[in-house]
Amino acid sequence: MKETEKIRLSDYKEYPFEISSIFLNISIKNDYVEVVSIYDIKSKSNHDDSLILQGIDIEIKCIEINDKALEKDFYKLENNKLIIKIEEICSFKLKIISTINPYINTSLEGLYESNNMLVTQCEAEGFRRIIFHPDRPDVLSKYKVRIVADRKKFPVLLSNGNLLSEKRLIEDASKYESIWEDPFPKPSYLFAIVAGRLVCKNDFYITKSGRTVCLRIYVEPGDEGLTQHALNSLKKAMQWDEDVYGFEYDLDLYNIVAVRHFNMGAMENKGLNIFNSKLVLADSEIATDEELERVESVIAHEYFHNWTGNRITCRDWFQLSLKEGLTVFRDQSFTADLHSSIIKRIEDVSFLRSHQFLEDSGPTSHAVKPNEYISIDNFYTTTIYEKGAEVIRMLHTLLGHETFIKGVRHYAERFDGKAATTEDFIDSVFKGAIKNGYKPDFDISQFQLWYYQSGTPNVSINRSWEPTKGSLKLLIRQTHNKLSNKAMVIPIKFSFVSKNGPEKECLFVLDKEETTLEFEGLGNKNEKPVLSYFRDFSAPIRWETDLSTDELFYLVEKDTNLFARWDAIQSLFKLAILSRAAQMRKESLEENLIHLLERIISTASSNNPSFLATILTLPSISELELSQNTIDPLSVYNSYYSFSALVGKSLSSNLSNLFKTYSHGSILDWPNGVGERKLIDIIWKLLISSGNSEIRLKALQTVKGKSMTLCLSALNSLLPICCIERDEAMQYFYSRWNNNPIILDTWFRLEASLPRPDALQITEKLLDHPLFDPLAPNSIRSILGGFVKNTKAFHSLDGKGYQFIAEQILSVDRRNPITASRLVKVFSRWRNFTEPYSQNMLEAIKFLSNKDLSINTKEVVANILD
């Protein structure tokens, strides 16, 4: 593919051939891998005289059609395409013998080496690095795979589906074969093999129909003791999917392999999930509460793909959110059901605002269903995943839980074993809902604009109150950053918040640019009614209202919807911090906020420390920056920490008492004690930022304890403060964990993010550290991501921080374009920064644009400069 060639949704054409089955004979040698590929192919029409297959870095040894060798005149290689003349043959067997070299493949796509094992990553277009194939998701085939390897070097050989046999070779006892068969047709991106010296942790699950499924997690020797949490998570996910959706697992075996070198978090290959080791290996001593929940969630996510992604897949990559948005919604719901639904909702919204809203506000903004791309790898984004999940959540809100589930079941029944589109999904869900009595009061085709239009919609709500009549009018408008965008279907959950009784929540569907709601006969005519809007974040939009700061204070204390309470105090925090950043400090607002927090702490329920911790947590710096039209990063940073210090100092006594109250519960094993540990984390941050030396000492002692959650809470709390305790804590953490690569990545991140005058020089040295692995994306992201979070170093006035990151992106791009293209997005909002930051960022981007970049990174850089 030429670098400038774009793939467009409007150009989609069905692949002209059906490949019903593929047999692969994979022989692993010491310095290469030989692959014999046998395809059963049938033409869908009589008009195609050439078969076009994709292939990268594959050496052809032989090509046969119907057991007859093809002469070179009958095929050619052109721009990574194999073009085979087939003349008028309608149905035929194609055989290709080829070789590849996974030992020099650093892209972590296709087949590659990781810690002496061979492993695959085929989504999105990695399969073309293994064999010649159309390598598109709408070509579904049944696979049978034979793997042959040296028994000592590769004692474990795995592939998709069920294991048919494994045995030593009679002709060479040093080698053995393993034969696998997947009875379900699948696209090439779900193909997987693993070969290596691995150990296995076994378990089993009995399905609702009584079938026993063997569960196995494969890890490197010595890590098997860290797999029980992942196994428990898998069994919970299997039961939840049966209970909620009625989806049962369909194979006899479910394998998971943990891999150190992996671009993604995990991959849902049918029957053989391959995971980033960080998302498998976990217990309370080496993982935080957040990481344990993350492992549980990702294990579930990949399992849920068995139906929403594998059994029903995407017609093309423009439909990526069909599987990812739906499955993210399912894993979010799973976590909410297992733990706290309100805390999970707040965490998801906070992440969406800090990351996806940020993406939507810059030049890399794209629709949930983009209409064109150069490299599909650049579209594994928060828009596809998290915003896509919010689109599904709106469906759930509009239909109601039971009707939504019936709609999804209808979709599964209709498209099982097929490749579908987002339109297929929406149509099926609504048809299933209508069949069960649902009557939509909006245009279903208009709802689909959520897939087609990019950007974050804005909604404004203003009240018109007539006290003599007790009548209220709400003027509601939706606007969009792009003038071409049309009015969307926006569900608004709202409620009147009254002192006189319980609130009644309403659901209104805004499907026009502007509308007015009228309410008559409202209670106290002397007071303008106070409303809370978008309760539980009923739509992924930004909203503005005419609520005063006094009314926001009222909502924080009186609203019964916990999300709305949290959202109201977040608005107040933002107003206070950004007023400081603009040199317009609102002291009365800050004083009222302190009094509000005092009241909340004094009246807080002892059985919900997680929500109290959430209420006390300030908005993230990235979310604060998103609220500014022009960003002065150092001003925001300084204002954030000065306000944090004010809160910590003003509430010192209250917070110290809270610490004593909840310390005992913090020693309980996960999932117990999570709320107490969250609360201690925020207490430490606030008190240490205020200069409390006694707490610094307590934090240092905790770093030496057994809880990784409290250890990292202590380290992160000490991070912004230059003090002896911070240095000693960092040294101890390194000496204790330098033999564990997963935890060492955390140390790298912390070291790179420490604010200090020589931060850039220290980060450069980290890249030469003997334990740094330059081929592991986790390690790369830890150091470079940590430095980007180091506000004073990254945003240095001389631009050296930006130039350093640009140079590192270039270096990474030469070996791993996927990782590099994601890193370059740190520059995406360069136009929104004040000078000299904006110009310095532009210089760094131009530096990259003038280099020989991969297609992936070049596309992102071009979008940023566009």
- So which residues are the catalytic ones? 302
The alpha helices in 621-767, defined as continuous H runs, are 621-626, 633-650, 652-662, 674-689, 693-703, 708-718, 724-737, 741-753, 759-766
Compute the distance between CA of residue 500 and CA of residue 513 in angstroms, rounded to an integer.
Answer: 34
Q: How far apart are the first and last CA of the chain?
A: 22
Q: Helix axis angle, 708-718 relative to 289-304, nearest 10°?
A: 120
- Name the phi and psi angles at 676, rounded to 5: -65, -40
Strand boundaries in 235-394, DSSP class E: 253-259, 266-267, 272-276, 313-314, 372-373
Compute the distance between CA of residue 197 and CA of residue 355 in angstroms, rounded to an integer.
Answer: 38
Compute the distance between CA of residue 275 and CA of residue 217 in angstroms, rounded to an integer.
Answer: 10
Residues 782-793 as b/e (b if ≥16 CB within 10 A, e otherwise) read bbbbbbbbbbbb
Nearest Cα to Cα of residue 318 among 12, 764, 561: 12
CB atoms under 10 Å from CB of 213, counted, come to 19
Report whether 178 contacts 159 (CB < 8 A). Answer: yes
Compute the distance between CA of residue 389 and CA of residue 375 in angstroms, rounded to an integer.
Answer: 23
Q: Helix axis angle, 741-753 relative to 708-718, nearest 10°?
A: 20
Compute the distance between CA of residue 328 and CA of residue 605 in angstroms, rounded to an integer.
Answer: 31
Secondary-structure breakdown of the chain: helix, strand, coil percentages, each rounded to the nearest 5:
45, 20, 35
Strands 458-466 and 490-496, by their bridges, are: unpaired
Report whether 277 contacts 224 (CB < 8 A). Answer: no
Strands 419-420 and 313-314, by their bridges, are: parallel
Total residue count of the chain as it appears in this document: 866
Compute the distance between CA of residue 194 and CA of residue 118 in angstroms, rounded to an integer.
Answer: 6
Residues 6+ apart with CB under 8 A from 117: 154, 194, 195, 196, 197, 198, 220, 259
Residues 6+ apart with CB under 8 A from 534: 459, 492, 493, 494, 541, 543, 567
Nearest Cα to Cα of residue 343 among 621, 711, 684, 674: 674
Q: Element (H or E) spanning 846, and its range?
A: helix 837-849
- The full 3-state SS of 682-702, as one line of letters, equals HHHHHHHHCCCHHHHHHHHHH
Distance of CA 566 to the CA centre of its chain: 23
DSSP state of 387: I
Note if the bond before 720 is cis, omega within 30 degrees. Answer: no
Report whether 250 contacts 184 (CB < 8 A). Answer: yes
